Amino acid sequence: MAMAGKLLANKVAIITGSTKGIGFAIAKKLALEGATVVVSSRRQENVTTAIAELKKENLPHLGVACHVGKEEDRKNLIEQTIKKFGKIDILVSNVAVSPHFGLTIGITEKQIDKIFDVNVKSSFLIARDCYPYLKATKGNITFVTSIGAYKPFVGGGWYSISKTSLLALTRVMASELAVDGIRVNCIAPGLIKTDFSKGLTENETIRNKFLEEIPLGRLGQPDDCAGAVVFLSCDQLSSYVTGECISMTGGIQSRL
């Protein structure tokens, strides 16, 4: 377990979709603040790469391959965590897909199902499955939504719709789980430079259009998202914060 003296000392955190990009930045930051982190991805090779990076800095961790849309994989992720560490204090649901870029009317039913199965349904299911353990520790949940939840962007309509659903899920679960001492919040990243967003960040026209709307005048980096999750995960800092969404957008307005 993690050393004392850190903000998240002796906490155990599961982070889904956490072997690169925003998810890995969150996992690493939580670990640097003392948490033992459980990183996961559908692909074992991605898990192996991520845990190698954590090992370089002697950060406490566990790596588990997990497709959060599959019940048996979620069960294994949780069982492996409990078997090794005995509890779960923090859940960060970061997994997401965006199989369609274009007008909303151009999407297929199969693509709609995939977006909602992964971005919304699996986020709820991993939270539901972790619930008994989070109740025992009076833990907390952070969902990763998007600026698109507040300000849908051209070409990403269905992705934005799914992320708006996560805002509602956050508020509903925050209300329902407060009685158990579980806090539920979310973060809404803007345009962050990752492999996931390459279709936007590497298209000069799209990138420049975004930059025109960003007061800070730059794209975000994965690390720009991690500190907010530390804040939301730390009872010392945010014990009275639940049902909220923190945006890191470089200044783009992000309220409905």
In a domain? residue 256: no
Structural domains in the chain (count): 1
Q: Which domain holds residue 35?
A: 12-248
Which has more confidence, 113 or 256? 113
Q: What is the pLDDT of residues 93-103, one digit of tens each?
A: 999 888 788 78
CATH of the domain at 179: 3.40.50.720
In a domain? residue 1: no
Residue 46 gets the label, from left (phi > 0), alpha (psi -120 to 50) or beta, of alpha
Kindly list the catalytic residues: 159
Cα 220 to Cα 27, 173, 207, 255, distances in angstroms = 17, 28, 12, 19
Q: What is the pLDDT of residues 156-196, one digit of tens each?
A: 889 999 999 999 999 999 999 999 999 999 999 988 887 77
In a domain? residue 2: no
pLDDT at 37 over 70: yes
In a domain? residue 195: yes
Mean pLDDT within 35-57: 96
Mean pLDDT within 17-38: 97
**Is the pTM for the entire model greater than 0.85?**
yes
CA distance 108 to 114: 10
Q: What angle do CA 208, 213, 216 make, to 5 degrees?
A: 95
Residue 32 pLDDT: 97
In a domain? residue 4: no
The DSSP code sequence of the chain is: -PPTTSTTTT-EEEESS-SSHHHHHHHHHHHHTT-EEEEEESSHHHHHHHHHHHHHTT--EEEEE--TTSHHHHHHHHHHHHHHHS---EEEE--------B-GGG--HHHHHHHHIIIIIHHHHHHHHHHHHHHHHT-EEEEE--GGGTS--TTBHHHHHHHHHHHHHHHHHHHHHGGGT-EEEEEEE-SB-SSTTHHHHT-HHHHHHHHHH-TT-S-B-THHHHHHHHHHH-HHHHTT--S-EEEESTT-----
Structure tokens at 49: 């790469």
In a domain? residue 5: no
**Residue 211, burial from CB neighbour count under 10 angstroms (0-12, 13-18, 19+):** middle
Q: What is the pLDDT of residues 68-115, one digit of tens each?
A: 999 999 999 999 999 999 999 999 999 988 878 878 899 999 999 999
Residue 148 pLDDT: 87
CA distance 37 to 61: 5
Residue 38 pLDDT: 98
CA distance 230 to 237: 9
In a domain? residue 140: yes
Residue 2 pLDDT: 47
Structure tokens at 242: 């639940």
